[in-house]
């Protein structure tokens, strides 16, 4: 009987309080969402507000301003936001892709050069970094600290200083040609030879001039013979430098990933009769996939943004065979004083990097997971 009476009293309390149980004892209703965790969201925003303001002022705002400059014909005099600055819309972009002229030819030449640069540097530096990481991670290797420091040291050295050293090494009478002369090989004039590697290889088979089918016409202002030239001899010297200086950084990333691989997995596969190559291919390499994606992404971004080595070693010469979009953007804006087109080149380069990064993310996605729309964008 007392239970029924208590339930009836609770119903009366709910009806009197709008459907909520009355807060007994204090006579006050409880405060939901308050207390020790009530203001966490506000505190979090207060903590991140300084960095949000800094990024907005020094990163986001300059990007918006640069995009506006790419839509104008600003020549560097006065402010680009004055009413007298000519607004040209997308003309700076169309000059790069659709209108015949020196601007499109130089831009497409830089894209061709950078494409071959990325195609060679990214795989080679990744493979070399992984090989060095496997070497210094070997349990039988002595003096590991020395080798890790030696391999990583070029990465922390000034790129300008190393570029100057490589200029002396690849000079006509430099150390590289001196070593080649020991084997009876006449070294090339590295930074004066504009011939492409593919053209040089074809020359060994007697193909010194462009066939008619490759010299007539071609996409985006260049003939097929020019697109298929390969990296120039001068660009190869810069590739050697970049591969040597960047492999150490990526080696540390692979080394950290290798040291997180459980030893028990490797020992279990060895007991099952797997060879060293099989253990690496089917046990170690799949566990390195996240690090591999990171290394490839950083390598892809870095190679498309190459600037300082080009600036110090070649300035885009010889015959524009070392010209890259980043250096072309600088030269167009700060030497030719065409800031609008220089900014347009920078934004096109930004789009290229974003598209290739997303494509790489899609290629390296985990195919065992259920497919969902836009999952590869995560």
The DSSP symbol for 73 reads -
Instruction: For residue range 224-248, list pLDDT tens digits in order.
Output: 888 999 999 999 999 999 999 999 9
Which pLDDT does position 83 carry in this prediction? 84
> pTM above 0.85?
no
| Location of structure tokens 């892809």 | 300
Phi first, then psi: what are they for 38, rounded to 5°? -70, -35
Where are the domains positioned within the chain? Answer: 101-196+231-337
SS (H, E, C) 212-262: HHHHCCCHHHCCHHHHCCCCEHHHHHHHHHHHHHHHHHHHHHHHHHHHCCC
Q: Read off the pLDDT band of 29 (50, 70, 90).
A: low
Which pLDDT does position 113 carry in this prediction? 95
Among residues 246, 26, 277, which one has the least CA distance to residue 125?
246
The more confident residue out of 142 and 21 is 142
Instruction: For residue range 251-284, list pLDDT tens digits in order.
Output: 999 999 999 888 888 788 888 888 888 888 888 8
Overall residue count recorded for the chain in this entry: 378
Instruction: For residue range 89-125, list pLDDT tens digits in order.
Output: 999 999 999 888 889 999 999 999 999 999 999 999 9
Measured CA to CA, the distance from residue 254 to residue 137 in angstroms comes to 10
Q: What percent of the chain has pLDDT over 70?
A: 87
Which pLDDT does position 35 carry in this prediction? 54
| CB-based contact 199:193 (threshold 8 Å) | no
In the chain, the largest separation of any two C-alpha atoms, in whole Å, equals: 112
Instruction: For residue range 333-349, list pLDDT tens digits in order.
Output: 999 999 999 999 999 99
Instruction: For residue range 315-334, list pLDDT tens digits in order.
Output: 998 899 999 999 999 999 99
- Does 150 score more than 80 pLDDT? yes
17-31, 153-167, 205-219, 315-329: lowest mean pLDDT where? 17-31
Among residues 221, 225, 201, 203, which one has the least CA distance to residue 212?
225
In the predicted model, what is the mean pLDDT of the chain? 85
- Give the list of residues 6+ apart from residue 128 with CB closer than 8 angstroms, or none: 243, 247
Architecture label for domain 101-196+231-337:
Orthogonal Bundle (1.10)
According to DSSP, the residues that pair with 72 across neighbouring strands are: 87
Which pLDDT does position 45 carry in this prediction? 87
Measured CA to CA, the distance from residue 238 to residue 117 in angstroms comes to 9
């Amino acid at each position: 009987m007392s239970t029924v009476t208590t339930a009836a009293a609770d119903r009366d309390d709910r009806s009197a309080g709008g459907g909520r149980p009355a807060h007994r004892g204090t006579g006050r209703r409880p405060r939901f969402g308050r207390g020790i965790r009530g203001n966490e969201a506000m505190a979090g925003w207060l903590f991140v507000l300084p960095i949000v303001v800094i990024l907005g002022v020094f990163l986001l705002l300059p990007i918006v301003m640069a995009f506006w400059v790419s839509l104008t014909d600003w020549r560097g005099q006065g402010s680009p936001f004055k009413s007298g600055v000519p607004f040209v819309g997308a003309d700076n972009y169309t000059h790069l892709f659709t209108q015949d002229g020196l601007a499109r030819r130089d831009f497409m030449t830089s894209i061709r050069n950078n494409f071959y640069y990325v195609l060679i540097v990214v795989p080679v530096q990744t493979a070399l970094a992984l090989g060095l990481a496997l070497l210094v991670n070997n349990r039988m290797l002595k003096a590991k600290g020395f080798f890790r420091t030696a391999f990583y040291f070029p990465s922390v050295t000034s790129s300008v200083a190393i570029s100057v050293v490589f200029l002396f090494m690849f000079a006509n009478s430099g150390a590289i040609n001196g070593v080649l002369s020991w084997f009876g090989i006449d070294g090339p004039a590295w930074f004066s030879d504009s011939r492409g590697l593919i053209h040089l290889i074809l020359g060994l088979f007697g193909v010194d001039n462009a066939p008619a089918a490759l010299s007539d016409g071609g996409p985006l202002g260049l003939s097929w013979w020019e697109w298929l030239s390969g990296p120039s001899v001068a660009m190869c010297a810069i590739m050697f430098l970049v591969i040597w200086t960047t492999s150490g950084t990526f080696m540390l990333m692979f080394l950290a990933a290798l040291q997180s691989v459980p030893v028990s997995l490797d020992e279990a596969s060895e007991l099952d009769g797997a060879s060293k190559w099989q253990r690496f291919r089917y046990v170690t390499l799949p566990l390195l996939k996240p690090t591999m994606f990171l290394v490839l992404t950083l390598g892809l971004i870095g190679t498309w943004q190459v600037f300082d080595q080009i600036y110090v070693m070649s300035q885009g010469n010889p015959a524009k065979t070392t010209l890259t979009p980043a250096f072309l953007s600088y030269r167009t804006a700060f030497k030719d004083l065409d800031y609008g087109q220089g900014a347009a080149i920078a934004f096109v380069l930004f789009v290229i990097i974003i598209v290739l990064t997303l494509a790489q993310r899609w290629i390296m996605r985990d195919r065992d997971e259920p497919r969902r729309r836009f999952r590869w964008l995560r």
